Structure 1
Amino acid sequence: MRGVSVTVSLRRKTGVDEGNNAVYKTVSETVDDVLILQGDQDAASGNVRPDGIVADATAYFPKTFQGSLRGAMVTDPAGREYKVVGDPFPPQVSYVPTKWNLKVPLTRTGADIG
Structure 2
Amino acid sequence: MKEKDAWSWYETKYELAEIILNKLKLYKENYNKNGYSLPIWILNEEDKKESYSEQDEIKLKIQWNKELDIMINSFSQILNYTLQFDENLEYNEEKIQQGLNKFAKYYLHFWD
TM > 0.5 fold call: no
Higher helix share: 2
Report the structure number with the largest CA radius of gyration. 2
Q: What is the TM-score normalised by the length of structure 1? A: 0.24
Q: What is the TM-score normalised by the length of structure 2? A: 0.24
**Which of the pair has the greater relative contact order for Cα pairs under 8 Å at 6+ separation?**
2
Higher strand share: 1
